[in-house]
Amino acid sequence: MSPPLLLLPLLLLLNVEPTGATLIRIPLRRVHPGRRTLNPLSRWGEPAELPRLGASSPGDKPGFVPLTKYMDVQYFGEIGLGTPPQNFSVVFDTGSSNLWVPSRRCHFFSVPCWFHHRFNPKASSSFRPNGTKFAIQYGTGRLTGILSEDKLTIGGIKGASVVFGEALWEPSLVFTFAHFDGILGLGFPILAVEGVRPPLDILVEQGLLDKPVFSFYLNRDPDVADGGELVLGGSDPAHYIPPLTFVPVTIPAYWQIHMERVKVGTGLTVCARGCAAILDTGTSLITGPTEEIQALNAAIGGIRLLAGAYLIQCSDIPTLPPVSFLLGGVWFNLTAKDYVIQISRDGVRLCLSGFQALDMPPPAGPLWILGDVFLGTYVAVFDRGDTHGGARVGLAQARPRGAGQRGGGPAQAQFSGGRPS
């Protein structure tokens, strides 16, 4: 993909004291789902108002940025660009590698610019022009603009000098309805257009982040305000139930791994001989080749709708089989409550399958995409690797909310991206 299905991350605030390596915490917020795979930006609910960068909530620790979330699937958080920082909500997307936001200089007929925060280079004392033209094609939208350089503020990190895109022309209508301003890519450098160094690489190179490691905890409980948390520099054990199972990255572009097989209950097996899969925070659902997704949805009683979506009888949820993914020799199970997206509006309840067909052509495909339906159940630690080993992804079951985990006393934060001895 380049990235064939974009976006989605955002977070909560956990009062945690870092020990050892520096951890930067970015709470996420989320917006209403909708069919993001083919039209990821449409029909989103209104998010809560963005808190200002640097604002603090009662009990905040220095360097933590409190954000909120809205409903169930779309997730994003806040960054600042320039001096003083101009605030933008961005999707933290592991399926791409560029940072871009709308520009104050965007084309008059670029409608998305009218509805989003726009970067004003004249308001920043640290702005440095670049002027190189860039273009990014997403699965459901595209944009063009120019590259610029300025200071990035993210979590407690300030002063990183990054090259980012100022979007001048966003012809895709989907961006008009997006409740985020831009995208911050967390993929590998090879995906970045115009050879721009991704923000994560810059933070490490400039000594502002100890390790090229980050982790996502996505909170999918619709009854609470927290959307989850992005931790830069490691992970927080308060987010998951140990141990972490690490799976090597097979192709360092997307966060691509080898998936050994997928089972539905005790009957159907797909990806029977192994297949490629990517962990993508920028994708709401779990996608796979059409033939296998059709068989999977048939096994869970899915009723096919338009655009590849499947309807599930809400009353069937308690009796539906688990869907299990074999990764790194360990089974990762999703119950129906995990993989069925439940939407309630005006007294009407709708249940949709979290599995959707998407055929990725060679050379990138065929592959599966494990998006937020999977990553909401399992915390993912993305480790770019070091001299002792290559890139890998660590997975562990997300710790249930409550049970003294959040909003109470401090939890123990640590860098969990260390290499095995």
For 294-299, the CB contacts below 8 A with 24+ separation are 294/357, 295/268, 295/270, 296/262, 296/264, 296/268, 296/270, 296/323, 296/355, 297/353, 297/355, 299/264, 299/265, 299/267, 299/268
User: Quick one: which of 79, 84, 20 has its CA closest to 51?
Assistant: 79
Catalytic residues: 93, 280
Q: Is residue 270 within 8 Å of 295, Cβ to Cβ?
A: yes
Q: Is residue 163 within 8 Å of 149, Cβ to Cβ?
A: yes
What gap in Å lies between CA 166 and CA 259, rounded to an integer? 37
Paired sense of beta strands 411-412 and 16-17, if any:
parallel
